[in-house]
């Protein structure tokens, strides 16, 4: 049986810029063949059992020659596999996707081209430069900057480009930058024409240097801009001073590690990304069913005997009600039972089901629940704690000391899920991570087991959702730089902004 190859444009670097169709293909693939410019954060969308093959290409250094990449795609498709060929930018814009498609067509193998957001437009936009603007220009030309402009048989039409009034965008041109500028001036473009070089566009380490054709090469060299970089030439560059929106976001320039489970990470990642950060999802835990459902099922059989039902997390709420439904029961079983939720997120899990908690403690941890219960519960009443298998023993111990009959059941447990630990170690060693966020003690423990304390550099900040998580981090040898004032995702984000105020990733 023949497989299929999806030639997917990953976009210019920001993982949020991949298209919906591109992500679908990535999620379905059995094999992912990816480039250096296809950000590692995108690989989290791959199936857990997908084979990941790196064929990254840099200037003068290829992990795999193009001919071998072509052969690899043919080989895997012929073997009946679903292959995602993940390429930076758009596969048909200087991406050699056309060559790969030709090879597949010659082999009689099915393929699909999934266009990507090209860096020719997106990178200038992230730097505050619209490539067209009614008040400046109505035309745009995109050319490769990888070709030596001094060679005699150039395929780039330098004369028309230089003499036209529109915006010029050169991709992959940082190594030939001085020659490109000289050629444009020689062919008729004024050396006073505004120009900008944008390095690592749309990524957290994005940097922009502006000048004119006369001096942009020397300015970029002074700032040590390196590939990938985009050169923009034209009057639209003048708009950057007013429109440079991304650099003004409070977390711009920061790559932040998110260690929550994959199911939970999206909310935290979205909030960080909205503030300009590049969240790197590295789930260190996976939420799985308990080893034995019997204690849970036994508690469900006698729900009406409990006066209190305490949830310590949203995960506990979701797992409890999922099991309740699986056993053919519903919320009517909870008539007369008082519900307690630690934290607003846990409370939202209840209200989403039309249930109102009796109270949510002002401080979102077990100690606060105990304080609230002292004035509400009576000795002899029964309390059911639906929680993680790894939960702290403080809550059941203290409630039992108050005279309550406490039954605790594990409705879920966490396992280590730290795929991509080597990439995280590399990023830490390179100083690419501005901060790491931890939302539970289990995320800390599993991170340390997977990555190791020795991999964490002093320059990477550690921010925790609450004091219990922070204590676990300290016990593991991590320096904690911030603890959320309110033990919520919003509080964690606010504290991250505070900790990183005025800082940038070392580039």
pLDDT, tens only, 397-448: 999 999 999 999 999 988 777 678 889 999 999 999 999 999 988 899 989 9
Pick the CATH number of 121-247 from 3.40.50.620, 3.30.1240.10, 3.30.420.40, 3.30.950.10: 3.30.950.10
Strand 82-87's sheet: what is its strand order? 51-54, 31-34, 82-87, 4-9, 111-114
Considering the domain delimited by 288-416, tell me its CATH architecture: 3-Layer(aba) Sandwich (3.40)
Query: How far, in Å, CA of 27 to CA of 21, rounded?
Result: 10
Task: Give the residue-averaged pLDDT of 304-333.
Answer: 92
Q: Is the pLDDT assigned to residue 283 strictly greater than 90?
A: no
**Separation of CA 442 from chain center:** 20
- Of 2, 14, 49, 57, the catalytic one is 57
Q: Who wins on pLDDT, 140 or 284?
A: 140
Q: Who wins on pLDDT, 392 or 128?
A: 128
Q: Where are the domains of the chain?
A: 4-116, 121-247, 255-284+418-499, 288-416
Q: Is the peptide bond before 228 cis (omega within 30 degrees of 0)?
A: yes
Banded pLDDT at 58 (limits 50, 70, 90): low
Q: Is the pLDDT assigned to residue 99 strictly greater than 70?
A: yes
Query: 3-class SS at 145?
Result: coil
Percent pLDDT > 90 in the chain is 65
* Host H or E run for residue 345: helix 344-351
Q: Is the pLDDT assigned to residue 368 strictly greater than 60?
A: yes
Long-range contacts of 484-487 (CB under 8 A, 24+ apart): 486/364, 487/343, 487/363, 487/364, 487/365
Query: How does 361-398 read in b/e, with b if 16+ C-beta sit within 10 Å?
Result: bebbbbebbbebbeeebeeebbbbbbbbeebeeebbeb
Q: What pLDDT does 488 receive?
A: 85
Q: Is there a catalytic annotation at residue 274? A: no
Q: Is the pLDDT assigned to residue 322 strictly greater than 50?
A: yes
Q: What pLDDT does 1 receive?
A: 63
Q: What pLDDT does 505 receive?
A: 44
Q: What pLDDT does 164 receive?
A: 87
Give the pair of three-digit tokens for residue 428: 């830490």
Q: Who wins on pLDDT, 486 or 84?
A: 84
Q: Are 290 and 411 in contact (CB under 8 A)?
A: yes
Q: Do strands 278-281 and 207-212 pair parallel, antiparallel, or not at all (unpaired)? A: unpaired
User: Greatest CA span in the chain, whole angstroms?
Assistant: 93
Q: Is the pLDDT assigned to residue 110 strictly greater than 90?
A: yes
List, as one string, the DSSP characters of 48-109: TT-EEEE--EETTEESS-HHHHHHHHHHHHHTT-EEEEEESB-TTSSSSHHHHHHHHHHTT-
Locus of tokens 């193009």: 66
Query: How far, in Å, CA of 210 to CA of 227, rounded?
Result: 16
pLDDT, tens only, 176-226: 999 999 999 999 999 999 999 999 999 878 899 999 999 999 999 999 999
Question: 117 CB contacts (<8 Å, ≥6 apart)?
Answer: 9, 11, 12, 17, 18, 19, 89, 90
User: What is the distance in angstroms between the CA of the first residue and the CA of the last residue of the chain?
Assistant: 47
Give the pair of three-digit tokens for residue 147: 């070709």
Banded pLDDT at 506 (limits 50, 70, 90): very low
DSSP state of 170: E
Task: Give the residue-averaged pLDDT of 317-333.
Answer: 93
Average pLDDT, whole number, for the chain? 90
Q: Is there a catalytic annotation at residue 330? A: no
Task: Give the residue-averaged pLDDT of 330-338.
Answer: 90
Pick the CATH number of 255-284+418-499 from 3.40.718.10, 1.10.3720.10, 3.90.950.10, 3.40.50.10090: 3.40.50.10090
Q: In terms of Cα–Cα distance, which of 48, 41, 171 is closest to 417?
A: 48
Query: How far, in Å, CA of 3 to CA of 7, rounded?
Result: 13
- Of 35, 90, 494, 495, the catalytic one is 35
Which residues are registered as beta bridge partners of 395? none
Look up the CATH number of domain 4-116.
3.40.1010.10
Q: What pLDDT does 56 receive?
A: 78
* Host H or E run for residue 447: helix 441-451
Q: Are 69 and 88 in contact (CB under 8 A)?
A: no
Task: Give the residue-averaged pLDDT of 241-260.
Answer: 91
Please compute Rg for the chain using Cα positions. 28
Q: What pLDDT does 371 receive?
A: 87
Task: Give the residue-averaged pLDDT of 332-338.
Answer: 91
Domains 255-284+418-499 and 288-416 share a fold: yes
């Amino acid at each position: 049986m023949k497989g299929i190859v999806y030639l997917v444009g990953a976009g210019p670097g920001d993982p949020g810029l991949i298209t919906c169709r591109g992500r679908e293909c990535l999620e379905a693939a059995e094999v992912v063949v990816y480039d250096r410019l296809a950000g590692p954060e995108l690989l989290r969308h791959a199936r857990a059992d997908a084979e990941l093959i790196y064929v990254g290409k840099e200037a003068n250094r290829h992990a795999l020659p193009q001919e071998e990449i072509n052969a690899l795609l043919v080989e895997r498709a012929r073997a009946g596999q679903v292959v995602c060929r993940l390429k930076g930018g758009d596969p048909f814009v200087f991406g050699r996707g056309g060559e790969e498609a030709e090879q597949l067509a010659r082999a009689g193998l099915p393929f699909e081209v999934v266009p990507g957001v090209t860096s020719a437009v997106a990178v200038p936009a992230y730097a505050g430069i619209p490539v067209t603007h009614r008040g400046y220009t109505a035309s745009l030309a995109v050319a490769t900057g990888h070709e030596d402009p001094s060679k005699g048989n150039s395929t780039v039409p330098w004369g028309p480009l230089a003499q036209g009034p529109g915006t010029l965008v050169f991709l992959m041109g940082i190594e030939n930058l001085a020659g490109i500028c000289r050629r444009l001036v020689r062919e008729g473009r004024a050396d006073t024409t505004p120009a900008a070089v944008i390095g690592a566009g749309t990524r957290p380490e994005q940097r922009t240097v502006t000048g004119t054709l006369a001096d942009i090469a020397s300015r970029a060299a002074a700032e040590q801009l390196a590939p990938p970089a985009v050169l923009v030439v034209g009057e639209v560059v003048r708009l950057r001073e007013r429109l440079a929106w991304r650099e003004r976001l409070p977390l711009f320039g920061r790559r932040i590690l998110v260690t929550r489970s994959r199911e939970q990470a999206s909310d935290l990642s979205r909030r960080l990304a909205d503030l300009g950060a590049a969240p790197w999802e590295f789930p260190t835990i996976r939420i799985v069913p308990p080893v034995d459902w019997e204690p849970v099922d036994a508690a469900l059989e006698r729900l009406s005997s409990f006066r209190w039902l305490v949830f310590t997390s949203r995960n506990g709420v979701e797992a409890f009600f999922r099991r309740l439904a699986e056993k053919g029961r519903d919320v009517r079983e909870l008539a007369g039972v008082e519900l307690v939720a630690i934290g607003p997120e846990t409370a939202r899990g209840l209200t989403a089901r039309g249930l109102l908690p009796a109270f949510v403690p002002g401080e979102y941890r077990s100690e606060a629940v105990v304080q609230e219960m002292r004035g509400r519960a009576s000795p002899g009443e029964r309390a059911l704690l639906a929680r993680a298998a790894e939960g702290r023993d403080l809550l059941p111990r203290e409630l039992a000391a108050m005279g309550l009959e406490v039954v605790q059941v594990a409705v879920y447990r966490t396992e280590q899920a730290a795929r991509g630990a080597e990439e995280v170690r590399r990023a830490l060693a390179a100083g690419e991570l501005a901060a790491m966020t931890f939302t539970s003690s289990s995320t800390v423990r599993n991170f340390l087991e997977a990555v190791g304390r020795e991999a964490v550099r002093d320059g990477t900040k550690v921010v925790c959702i609450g004091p219990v998580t922070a204590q676990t981090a300290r016990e593991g040898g991590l320096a904690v730089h911030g603890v959320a004032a309110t033990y919520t995702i919003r509080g964690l984000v606010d504290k991250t902004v505070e900790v990183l105020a005025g800082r940038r990733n070392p580039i």
